[in-house]
């Protein structure tokens, strides 16, 4: 039977980074993954360029039932630490928007970095490895992997969440937590597009591919200012993905299609200059013509000229465009979600080490934990930070 100091389950961002750091600290580490390739989700991220962190990563950008939990790890291994590592490997990167950092070339560069770091730590990586059972022993843990027994003093669960099941996501990490008596909070898809009810969807489908800058607001008051994208299923784009983490089924979403525009002043000025111009053509100066036509078809914009537009109609028009209320009928679910909300209850874990309070030697890191970041590299930063905090504890424990 093989013996290791540490077994890490899940060769994604958090698992690979933790294994590498623990290995470089002197631990004998086995890294397991059920897929045929390490870092599958990394390769898919950021349109294949991996949005590996965000320059503005801070605790306020994370959702958790225990909002203070992420503070320690994020403070101890920051975005600047990972940026320094990326620079050390000579990986060129650029800022896209709002502090989002992407590789100039390919997400494969980040996977290669992590694999090289694992190599430096003499980590044993085994792919296509299914963990069939885990038992607690006096000395640590006994795992059954592809029918073979493996023992370890410490076990790290970095099995990810339920998002993107096509890349091998399973509820393994949650089930393992429950096996050892840890509470798992309800999970749901996050950073995910909205689907819409008919007949609204039938009308908006004609806008598939149209993108506009907007401010979107959830019923709890949370607001994001970025683009929204009309799709053949409903609404997507950065602002919608962000808001999906705060939206609850049945709630409405408020969309300001013309943020920063004094619409009343604009319409009044146009009325003076072009009284016979249609409302549709006037608004097409500020919004895509297809969107204006669609809203008119829906009966949400009057089909009149500016001089015919009366005061109540103008008030309603401004309200429609700057507080457009849409009620999604749901989301596209885990299939297209970037992350999973909920997971292992952080009150069961040490915020300093990621260790389970009641189960010595058991750790949970990354997406499997109830910490979910905003869109834009925040979830990768949580992976790096939680992995690093865990690795420091492993090195200390296995000295």
Which domains does the chain show, CATH number per domain? 2-188+336-397 (3.50.50.60), 193-332 (2.40.30.10)
Closest CA to 127 of 34, 216, 44: 34
Please report the pLDDT score of residue 136 as a whole number.
97
Alpha carbons within 13 A on the beta-carbon side of 245: 26
Q: What is the pTM of this model?
A: 0.95
Distance of CA 223 to the CA centre of its chain: 17
Phi-psi region of 251 (alpha: psi -120 to 50; beta: other; left: phi over 0): beta
Only one residue has tokens 């009057």, namely: 302
Using CB atoms within 10 Å of the CB of residue 344, give its burial: 0 to 12 exposed, 13 to 18 middle, 19+ buried. Answer: buried
Residues 232/201, Cβ–Cβ less than 8 Å: no
Contact partners, residue 84, CB within 8 Å, separation at least 6: none
Give, for all 399 residues of the chain, the pLDDT tens digit.
Answer: 999 999 999 999 999 999 999 999 999 999 999 999 999 999 999 999 999 999 999 999 999 999 999 999 999 999 999 999 999 999 999 999 999 999 999 999 999 999 999 999 999 999 999 999 999 999 999 999 999 999 999 999 999 899 988 888 889 999 999 999 999 999 999 999 999 998 899 999 999 999 999 999 999 999 999 999 999 999 999 999 999 999 999 999 999 999 999 999 999 999 999 999 999 999 999 999 999 999 999 899 999 999 999 999 999 999 999 999 999 999 999 999 999 999 999 999 999 999 999 999 999 999 999 999 999 999 999 999 999 999 999 999 888
Buried b (16+ CB within 10 A) or exposed e, 201-213: beebbebeebebe
Please report the pLDDT score of residue 165 as a whole number.
84
């Amino acid at each position: 039977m093989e013996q290791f100091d540490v077994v890490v389950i899940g060769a994604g961002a958090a698992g690979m980074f933790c294994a590498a750091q623990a290995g470089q600290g002197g631990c004998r580490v086995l890294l397991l993954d059920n897929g045929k390739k390490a870092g599958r989700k990394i390769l898919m991220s950021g349109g294949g360029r991996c949005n590996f962190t965000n320059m503005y990563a801070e605790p306020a950008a994370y959702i958790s039932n225990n909002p203070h939990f992420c503070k320690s790890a994020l403070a101890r291994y920051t975005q600047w630490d990972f940026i320094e590592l990326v620079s050390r490997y000579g990986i060129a990167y650029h800022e896209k928007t709002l502090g989002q950092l992407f590789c100039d070339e390919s997400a494969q560069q980040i996977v290669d970095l992590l694999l090289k770091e694992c190599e430096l730590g003499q980590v044993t990586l085994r792919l296509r490895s299914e963990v069939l059972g885990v038992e607690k022993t006096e000395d640590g843990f006994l795992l059954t992997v592809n029918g073979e027994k493996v023992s370890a003093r410490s076990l790290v669960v970095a099995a990810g969440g339920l998002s993107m099941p096509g890349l091998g996501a399973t509820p393994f990490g949650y089930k393992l937590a429950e096996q050892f008596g840890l509470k798992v909070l309800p999970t749901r898809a996050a950073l995910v597009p909205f689907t819409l009810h008919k007949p609204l969807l039938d009308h908006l489908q004609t806008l598939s591919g149209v993108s506009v800058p907007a401010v979107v607001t959830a019923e709890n008051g949370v607001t994001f200012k970025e683009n929204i994208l009309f799709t053949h299923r409903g609404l997507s784009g950065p602002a919608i993905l962000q808001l999906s983490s705060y939206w609850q089924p049945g709630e409405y979403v408020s969309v300001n299609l013309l943020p920063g525009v004094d619409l009343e002043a604009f319409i009044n000025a146009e009325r003076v200059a072009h009284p016979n111009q249609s409302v549709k053509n006037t608004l097409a100066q500020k919004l895509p013509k297809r969107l204006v036509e669609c809203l008119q078809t829906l009966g949400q914009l009057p089909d009149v000229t500016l001089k015919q537009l009366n005061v109540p109609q103008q008030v309603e028009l401004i309200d429609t465009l700057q507080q457009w209320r849409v009620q999604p009928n749901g989301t596209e679910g885990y299939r297209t979600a970037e992350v999973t909300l909920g997971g292992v209850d952080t009150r069961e874990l040490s915020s300093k080490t990621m260790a389970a309070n009641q189960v010595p030697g058991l750790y949970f890191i990354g997406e499997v934990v109830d910490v979910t970041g905003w869109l834009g590299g925040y979830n990768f930063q949580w992976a790096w930070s939680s992995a690093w905090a865990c690795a420091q504890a492993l090195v200390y424990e296995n000295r």
